[in-house]
A and B are shown apart, each in its own frame.
Chain A
Amino acid sequence: MGELIAPRRAARAFVAAGVAARVAGWAGWLLIGVGAWLAVYPSVVLLGSSVVVGGRIGLDHYLRALSDPVVHRAFGNSLLVSTAAALLGTTLGVLLAWLTTRTDLPAAGTWHAALLLPYMIPPFIGAMAWVYLLSPVGYLNRLWTWLSGSTDPLLVIYGPGGIVFALALYGYPIPYLVVRAALERLDPALEEAARMSGAGPLRVLREVVAPIVVPAVASGALLLWVSSLANFGIPAVLGFPARYFVLPTRIYGTVLNFDMPDNLRVAASLSVLLAVPAGLALLGQRRLAGARAERFAVVTGQGGAGSRTELGKWRGPACAVLASVVLLATVLPLAAILVTSLTRAYGVPLGLENLTLDHYRTVLFGIPKVARALRNSVLLAASAATLVVVLAAAVTYLSERLHWRAGRVLEGLLAVPYAVPGTVVAVAMILAYARPLPVVNIRLYDTAWILLIAYLARFLAIGLRTVSSGLAQVHASLEEAARIGGAGAGRAFRDVVVPIIWPSLRSAWLLVFIPAVAELTLSALLYSVGNETVGVVIYGLHEEGKVALSAALAFVVTALLLTGHLLTYRTPRREWVT
């Protein structure tokens, strides 16, 4: 170690560094190209198509859409249900966050894990479960008629009320996590100083905690609002039967309406209309979560236990609230799916004589489409996840270590397909790949590749964010210490960086795989015969009325997802928060 490196070795290292820089530059350009192709090309095509009217440029599609009462209604419905769901879900999320972080609630950690489970249930499957429970012949309604003797159902889940309920029930984890993070970051000394100044616990909550946490609450509410606005699965399952449309389902209807002239271009204009409020809301959320929040986020130096409110006699009611949420969001729906999948036919009286495993046998082994769809979904999701992780690692490494400024640009580009509703991405992909690619003359629209591209475009942003926050924890000095010790750049990367960021690579993989495997929004518009995904099959069976088969498949998929989530829950919570 005390010897100087021999001159020849030094020269070789110097040349290698130059080559590395050039490779990095070349790889950098390649990555920008990938990003542009994934994000910019479809966006340009989407915008372009929306202003092409029968061979010329014009805003006719927009004008027609804006004056079409059907579109008005859909747009209005979208805003209505999103706002209602955001308000409901945020109130619930704030209450739950406060209960699990700021009180002496017993087993708070377990409650927290249970409260996150709904996030793992694909929203459309959650909606289907509530159909089993609250359709006119749903289990809860049957229970009601049996108990009360009346013939009318208590509640029917179809329509805007049901949609708002389902959106809030499956969406509350978003504001819950955001507010929780803010509460945990709050320096407990701020509350203690207020106590020492003479303020009682309630006053402290009102005058110190609440004002500081408000930006997080607003941020969470906006995120939930955008998520509700973009949701396709829930309004599809709960809205179509009641002829209640929101913009994503209206766009879906337009794309499939082959009788409408120029239907794809109309869909494009509707997609742009959908993207605008979503984009604005997310920009607003960025501002809220940005500089102002930094000022208000007082990080505690010494992790003392934050002051906890003693619940005292409220402990019972608090646990009751938590239990009801877990019941309504997870237990009851899963039970409903299970029961439906085991009953001979939906609608027959429940009883041991009507239990059967036939549906499982049929759906898993009797229908080739299902096996194919499962295979497709897993393969697509896994490929997308792997590609995302590799690309994200490369981009992040280039940005952080080699100070590649274009990384920022790339992140910005890829934020678009992530932020924008999935339906919009799907329409953009259709338009972008409807015609065969030049040179190779392959039409991607009819293949599974279009789905892969769509998943990549959609999820690359989250992969980037997860991996870059992981890499940020590997201070450059760790790598430099390895270099001084004699390791080359590649070796230092392998021995020092990779092991430390491995958990975030794994998190990123799961953060892509899990939503991708059972997703419906993109595949509903992009699948083709032979390339169905499991989400499409489940939804299709449900729409065809083959409720029990649909339930069986849904249960299998959901059980797998939940198991996967529980098994990997050991990763730090931080990495699950997007």
Chain B
Amino acid sequence: MARVRLEGLAKRYGTVWAVRDVELEVADGEFVSVLGPSGCGKTTILRVVAGFTRPTLGRVVVGDRVLSTPEAQVPPEKRGMAMVFQTYAVWPHMTVFQNVAYPLRCMRVPAAELEARTRRALDLVRLRGLEDRRPHELSGGQQQRVALARALVAEPSVLLLDEPLSNLDARLREEMREELAELHNRLGFTVLYVTHDQQEAMALADRVVVMRDGCVEQVGTPQDVYDNPATAFVARFVGAASFLEGEARPRGEGWLEVTLPGGVRLPVPHARPVAGPALVCVRPEWMVADPGGSLRGRVVRRVYMGERADCVLEVPGGRVLWRTEVGRSPAVGEELSLRLLRAVVYPKTAASTSEGMVAT
């Protein structure tokens, strides 16, 4: 059973808390991505789970084994996990074969079995034929695959990945992403995947943990996190989001009325009632052109992307990014009205105020 549980995990360096009170349960075979900007503590969490860093508070439990507490730690080599590093960490003084076979050598697997399993692992990542090469003769993508093969050869129950694709170029990154997803489907190990790239996290994970400044902002499926961001930070970090400031008033079942600067009253479909100063978060595809719509504005910029064209509209209360189809996208300077199909409204606190109205 490779169920990973983080109980009240916290880590302090000097006076700074890198990780604060993280509770997470990863089911056996689940692919969980820890997502956040640099410095949010995601790598620290991974290193605590791997056994390189001792937690200040809390425990790490895998299956029914307690692996980390503030007092005692099971050393990394005895945890039965595997890890893929951002810098690949492929040993320069060993061949590809020796690199991949190393975990099996540490487990004292007999020679014939070692050979067979190593070749199988190399097949998995499509590196057959390169066994005798040295790392410096390989490209970045190939080195990353060596690292992956080395991680998989021991058939780990838990696989830890620390931003494994961030050193690769865009196209290679997408290829490797697909390969990873495929391998996970096939082999079914539990994955903890740390990244700052929200597209990667959304595309690969069963569940996403969004972190900021050491705290968990939201845990949920990619869909949850995208459609129902728990905080303005999550809304901004995952996907594009625009924010409008105004005064909210509940208006019957599932509706709010938000008064924007200038007196414009905007009907907002919203299940939860919110009253008082508020931030309205809209994603580009949550608005539709409607001559009767309450959100009137002027197109100030048009961003042509090939398959779609985004427009930035100046409206009372700020600017919004609106996604349109290429054929029907308005020109700069045009005035039009939009209607909200959905939105997420946050009570305005110091934490939820956003600086930029249009986020990518």
Binding site for B on A (CB under 8 A): 187, 189-190, 192-200, 203, 208, 211-212, 295-296, 298, 300-302, 307
Contact with A along B77-92 (1 / 0, CB 8 A): 1100111011111111
Q: How far is the CA of A196 from the CA of B87 in the complex (A)?
A: 15
Interface size for B (C-beta < 8 A) is 29
The residue from A189, A190, A196, A295 contacting B76, defined by CB atoms under 8 A apart: A196
- A196-B82, A295-B92 known; A300-B102 Cβ under 8 A: no
Q: How far is the CA of A515 from the CA of B47 in the complex (A)?
A: 47
Cβ of A200 to closest chain B Cβ, rounded Å: 6
Contact yes or no, B87 A195, CB < 8 A: no
B residues in contact with A211, CB < 8 Å = 93
B residues in contact with A208, CB < 8 Å = 91
Contact yes or no, B106 A199, CB < 8 A: yes
Contact with A along B179-213 (1 / 0, CB 8 A): 00000000000000000000000000000000000
Contact yes or no, A200 B75, CB < 8 A: yes
Contact yes or no, A193 B89, CB < 8 A: yes
Q: How far is the CA of A189 from the CA of B83 in the complex (A)?
A: 10
Contact yes or no, A195 B76, CB < 8 A: yes
The residue from B77, B83, B147, B151 contacting A199, defined by CB atoms under 8 A apart: B77
Q: Which of B128-165 contact A (CB under 8 A)?
A: 136, 147, 150-151, 154, 160
Contact yes or no, A189 B85, CB < 8 A: yes
B residues in contact with A194, CB < 8 Å = 91, 102
Contact yes or no, A190 B52, CB < 8 A: no
The residue from A195, A197, A298, A302 contacting B92, defined by CB atoms under 8 A apart: A298
Cβ of B271 to closest chain A Cβ, rounded Å: 43
Contact yes or no, B91 A190, CB < 8 A: yes
Flag whether B103 is at the interface (Cβ < 8 A). yes
Flag whether B107 is at the interface (Cβ < 8 A). yes
Q: How far is the CA of A302 from the CA of B162 in the complex (A)?
A: 13
Q: How far is the CA of A189 from the CA of B147 in the complex (A)?
A: 11
B residues in contact with A197, CB < 8 Å = 77, 82, 102-103, 106, 150, 154
Cβ of B221 to closest chain A Cβ, rounded Å: 29
Q: How far is the CA of A442 from the CA of B78 in the complex (A)?
A: 78
Q: How far is the CA of A295 from the CA of B78 in the complex (A)?
A: 31
B residues in contact with A295, CB < 8 Å = 92, 136
Name the residue in A194, A197, A307 with the highest tally of chain B Cβ atoms < 10 Å from its Cβ.
Answer: A197
- A198-B106, A199-B106, A200-B77 known; A192-B154 Cβ under 8 A: no
Cβ of A191 to closest chain B Cβ, rounded Å: 8
- A195-B75, A195-B76 known; A187-B136 Cβ under 8 A: no
Q: How far is the CA of A208 from the CA of B92 in the complex (A)?
A: 9
Cβ of B160 to closest chain A Cβ, rounded Å: 8
**Residue on A nearest B134 in the bound complex, by CB:** A295
**Residue on A nearest B167 in the bound complex, by CB:** A301
Contact yes or no, B154 A301, CB < 8 A: no
- A187-B89, A212-B93, A298-B92 known; A196-B83 Cβ under 8 A: yes
Q: Is the interface of A mostly helix, strand, loop or mixed?
A: helix
- A189-B87, A300-B87 known; A307-B52 Cβ under 8 A: yes
Flag whether B279 is at the interface (Cβ < 8 A). no
Flag whether B248 is at the interface (Cβ < 8 A). no
Further pairs besides A197-B106, A198-B103: 6, Cβ < 8 Å: A189-B86, A193-B83, A196-B83, A296-B93, A302-B86, A302-B87
Contact yes or no, A193 B150, CB < 8 A: yes
- A193-B83, A199-B106 known; A296-B92 Cβ under 8 A: yes
Contact yes or no, A301 B52, CB < 8 A: no
Contact yes or no, A301 B77, CB < 8 A: no
Flag whether B50 is at the interface (Cβ < 8 A). yes
The residue from A187, A200, A212, A296 contacting B87, defined by CB atoms under 8 A apart: A187
Q: How far is the CA of A193 from the CA of B86 in the complex (A)?
A: 11
Q: How far is the CA of A187 from the CA of B90 in the complex (A)?
A: 10
Cβ of A210 to closest chain B Cβ, rounded Å: 9
Cβ of B214 to closest chain A Cβ, rounded Å: 17
- A200-B75, A200-B77 known; A298-B87 Cβ under 8 A: yes
**Residue on A nearest B136 in the bound complex, by CB:** A295
A residues in contact with B87, CB < 8 Å = 187, 189, 298, 300-302
Cβ of A291 to closest chain B Cβ, rounded Å: 10
Q: How far is the CA of A196 from the CA of B106 in the complex (A)?
A: 10
Contact yes or no, A203 B106, CB < 8 A: yes
The 4 A-B residue pairs with the shortest CB-CB distance in the complex, in nearest-first order: A198-B106, A189-B89, A197-B103, A193-B89
**Residue on B nearest A294 in the bound complex, by CB:** B136
Name the residue in B76, B85, B147, B154 with the highest tally of chain A Cβ atoms < 10 Å from its Cβ.
Answer: B76
Contact with A along B98-124 (1 / 0, CB 8 A): 000011001100000000000000000
Contact yes or no, B147 A193, CB < 8 A: yes
Q: How far is the CA of A189 from the CA of B89 in the complex (A)?
A: 5
Q: How far is the CA of A247 from the CA of B115 in the complex (A)?
A: 56
Cβ of A104 to closest chain B Cβ, rounded Å: 13
Cβ of A207 to closest chain B Cβ, rounded Å: 8
Q: How far is the CA of A298 from the CA of B81 in the complex (A)?
A: 24
Q: How far is the CA of A470 from the CA of B87 in the complex (A)?
A: 27
Cβ of A203 to closest chain B Cβ, rounded Å: 7
A residues in contact with B154, CB < 8 Å = 197-198
Q: How far is the CA of A194 from the CA of B91 in the complex (A)?
A: 9
Name the residue in A198, A295, A301, A307 with the highest tally of chain B Cβ atoms < 10 Å from its Cβ.
Answer: A198
B residues in contact with A300, CB < 8 Å = 87
Cβ of B343 to closest chain A Cβ, rounded Å: 39
B residues in contact with A198, CB < 8 Å = 77-78, 103, 106-107, 154
Q: How far is the CA of A457 from the CA of B52 in the complex (A)?
A: 51
Cβ of A272 to closest chain B Cβ, rounded Å: 39
Contact yes or no, A196 B75, CB < 8 A: no
* 5 pairs of residues in contact across A and B, judged by CB atoms under 8 Å: A193-B90, A197-B82, A203-B106, A212-B93, A302-B86
Q: How far is the CA of A463 from the CA of B82 in the complex (A)?
A: 48
Q: How far is the CA of A303 from the CA of B313 in the complex (A)?
A: 43
Cβ of A218 to closest chain B Cβ, rounded Å: 14
Contact yes or no, A193 B92, CB < 8 A: no
A residues in contact with B75, CB < 8 Å = 195, 200
Contact yes or no, B81 A196, CB < 8 A: yes
A residues in contact with B83, CB < 8 Å = 192-193, 196
Q: How far is the CA of A199 from the CA of B102 in the complex (A)?
A: 9
Q: How far is the CA of A196 from the CA of B46 in the complex (A)?
A: 13
Q: How far is the CA of A190 from the CA of B92 in the complex (A)?
A: 9
Contact yes or no, B86 A192, CB < 8 A: no
Q: How far is the CA of A244 from the CA of B62 in the complex (A)?
A: 69
Contact yes or no, B89 A190, CB < 8 A: yes
Q: How far is the CA of A424 from the CA of B106 in the complex (A)?
A: 54
A residues in contact with B78, CB < 8 Å = 198
A residues in contact with B151, CB < 8 Å = 196
Contact yes or no, A193 B91, CB < 8 A: yes
**Residue on B nearest A193 in the bound complex, by CB:** B89
A residues in contact with B107, CB < 8 Å = 198
**Residue on A nearest B88 in the bound complex, by CB:** A189
Contact yes or no, B93 A196, CB < 8 A: no
Contact yes or no, A192 B52, CB < 8 A: yes
Name the residue in B75, B83, B87, B160 with the highest tally of chain A Cβ atoms < 10 Å from its Cβ.
Answer: B87
